[in-house]
Amino acid sequence: MAIEFSSSESIYIQIADYISDKILLGEWTTDEKISSVRELAIELEVNPNTVNRSYEFLQHQEVIYTKRGLGFFVAPKGKENIKSYKRRQFFEKDLPGFYRNLLLLEIDILEIEAGFQQYKLLNKGSNK
């Protein structure tokens, strides 16, 4: 399954997000072995060096770790570290534009809250 990469962000970051999503959704759990660099490169139809760069990034974030000769595994606090990193990114990158649109379009925060509550009800337990 190839990812549809966007041009707005580095491919290795998009791959790191793909891996992070698999961990957040519980597809890969703590101390579970994840795909090798080569396997993921074939699956995503990218250069193995790009996947390796993603894995290095995730190791730096303490999301995954390597066991010499065995491969890569989900770190004990990998899921929490992903959430922390993604929350920071959300607050720093996504929300300022969102706030600007609220202001420009004169949307009240109560409208947003009502829409979010409805979304949560419709997607309860699905982790979409």
pLDDT tens digits for range 20-65: 999 999 999 999 999 999 999 999 999 999 999 999 999 999 999 9
The residue ranges of every structural domain in the chain are 1-128
Q: Which fold has domain 1-128?
A: Arc Repressor Mutant, subunit A (1.10.10)
User: Helices 11-24 and 37-44: crossing angle, nearest 10°?
Assistant: 100
C-alpha R_g of the chain: 17
Work out the mean pLDDT of the chain and round it to a whole number.
Answer: 92
What does pTM read for this prediction?
Answer: 0.79
